[in-house]
A and B are shown apart, each in its own frame.
Chain A
Amino acid sequence: KNQVEQSPQSLIILEGKNCTLQCNYTVSPFSNLRWYKQDTGRGPVSLTIMTFSENTKSNGRYTATLDADTKQSSLHITASQLSDSASYICVVTMNYGGSQGNLIFGKGTKLSVKP
């Protein structure tokens, strides 16, 4: 079954600290892996997208890694800010060959950054 599992479910850190969120997936055929940030009551906003051949990608203080062999990804947040408080969702896109595929979402990690 195509699944995306994230850990931890929730995380509380102090402002300025770093943290790493984990994602494991069992999605096939694989097209790409995305990390989204979702503020409460809002739509997801893309942070990074990685294809099979990419090991790491950065977007400001966010750095995502991908190990396609072990089917694991991580999102590292550096020097956290209060505005980083949100749910971080790992999403894997299935590739159906000529079609668009669809997105398999993880449940997300709820990050709270405290002053």
Chain B
Amino acid sequence: EPEVTQTPSHQVTQMGQEVILRCVPISNHLYFYWYRQILGQKVEFLVSFYNNEISEKSEIFDDQFSVERPDGSNFTLKIRSTKLEDSAMYFCASTETYYEQYFGPGTRLTVT
């Protein structure tokens, strides 16, 4: 069964460094999403992406964040200058229509 994959599973970085989180959505899906979940808290929407551009973004998704679909398979989330409060699980999701979203296993980002 096709699934969303994410790499790395765990990323440790120093405050102020740039990180890129990678996702490979399910191949025929058209809509892509990033969410984050701070430890012990609820999942929060960051951004949705369709037709090579951002569809919607939340207040969390400020100028430090960017997304890109550099080729036909990858979907990336970049954080330019990480802060301690960026430490969280980051989930990628994709969907063929916007009705059902399939989530990846997540990347745990630890900022020290």
A interface residues (Cβ-Cβ under 8 A, vs B): 32, 41-46, 49, 89, 91, 96, 99-108
B91 pairs with A43, CB closer than 8 A:
yes
Q: Contact between A46 and B42 (Cβ–Cβ < 8 Å)?
A: no
Question: A-B pairs with CB below 8 Å: how many?
Answer: 53
Which residues of B are found within 8 Å of A96, using beta-carbon distances? 56
Q: Does B45 contact A (CB under 8 A)?
A: yes
8 nearest interchain CB pairs? Answer: A43-B103, A105-B43, A100-B98, A102-B45, A107-B42, A105-B42, A44-B103, A43-B91
A45 to B102 Cα, complex, angstroms: 7
Task: Report chain B residues within 8 Å CB of A49.
Answer: 99-100
The reply on B58 being an interface residue by CB < 8 A is: yes
User: Could you say which of A101, A105, A108 contacts B44, with CB atoms under 8 Å apart?
Assistant: A105
Smallest beta-carbon distance B105→chain A, Å: 5
Shortest Cβ distance from A108 into B: residue: B42
A32-B99, A44-B43, A89-B43 known; A102 vs B56 contact (CB < 8 Å): yes
For the complex, give the distance between the alpha carbons of A60 and B64 in Å: 43
Asked whether any CB of chain A lies closer than 8 Å to the CB of B41, the reply is: yes
Instruction: Determine how close the nearest CB of chain A comes to the CB of B40; give it in whole angstroms.
Output: 9
Contacts of A105 in B (CB 8 A): 42-45
Interface pairs (5), CB distance under 8 Å: A49-B100, A89-B43, A100-B50, A103-B35, A108-B42
How many Å from the CB of A22 to the closest CB on chain B? 16
